[in-house]
C-alpha cells in the first residue's frame, strides 16, 4: 500500500465515521449517545485489528517476514546462478581441482607448499650473498 492509498483510506474512513454519526443522530435512538456508539465501534475495530495482528505474528505471515523470505529466495537464486556461471567459465582442470577439494578435506592453513619453501630459501640466500663483501 502506498502513502497515497493509505491517506485515501484514512479520509474514506473519516467520511464513513461522519456519515455514521449523522445517521445515528438522525435516527433518534434514545438512551445512547453518538459518542458512546463511536467509542464502541472504535473499540471493536481495534480489537479486531489486534486479533488479526496476533494471528499474523503466530503464523509468521508478517509483512517484514514475507519480504525477507522473498528477498532471501531471490538472492539465493541469483547467487547460485552467478557462482555456476563463474564455475563454468573456469578451465576443466581448475573445475576438477575445485571439485576434488570440495569432496576431500580442505587444505590445512599451516601446510606449506614445497615450491614456496624453495623460493623463500633462494630469496634468503640471494639476499645474504648480496650483503657479504
Q: At what angle do helices 3-27 and 34-59 cross, to 10 degrees?
A: 140
Core vs surface per residue 11-27: b (16+ CB within 10 A) or e? eeeeeeeeeeeeebeee
CB of 78 within 8 A of CB of 84? no
Tell me which of 14-18, 67-71, 119-123 is least confident. 119-123
pLDDT, mean of residues 76-94: 92
Closest CA to 22 of 45, 14, 9: 14
Q: How would residue 73 be classed by pLDDT, with cut points 50, 70 and 90?
A: very high
SS3 state at 104: coil
Amino acid at each position: 500500500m502506498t502513502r497515497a492509498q493509505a491517506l485515501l483510506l484514512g479520509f474514506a474512513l473519516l467520511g464513513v465515521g461522519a456519515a455514521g454519526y449523522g445517521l445515528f443522530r438522525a435516527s433518534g435512538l434514545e438512551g445512547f449517545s453518538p459518542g458512546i456508539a463511536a467509542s464502541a465501534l472504535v473499540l471493536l475495530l481495534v480489537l479486531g485489528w489486534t486479533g488479526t495482528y496476533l494471528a499474523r505474528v503466530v503464523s509468521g505471515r508478517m509483512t517484514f517476514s514475507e519480504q525477507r523470505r522473498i528477498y532471501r529466495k531471490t538472492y539465493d537464486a541469483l547467487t547460485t546462478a552467478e557462482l555456476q556461471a563463474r564455475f563454468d567459465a573456469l578451465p576443466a582442470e581448475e573445475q576438477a581441482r575445485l571439485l576434488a577439494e570440495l569432496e576431500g578435506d580442505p587444505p590445512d592453513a599451516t601446510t606449506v607448499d614445497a615450491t614456496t619453501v624453495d623460493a623463500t630459501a633462494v630469496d634468503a640466500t640471494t639476499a645474504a650473498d648480496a650483503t657479504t663483501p
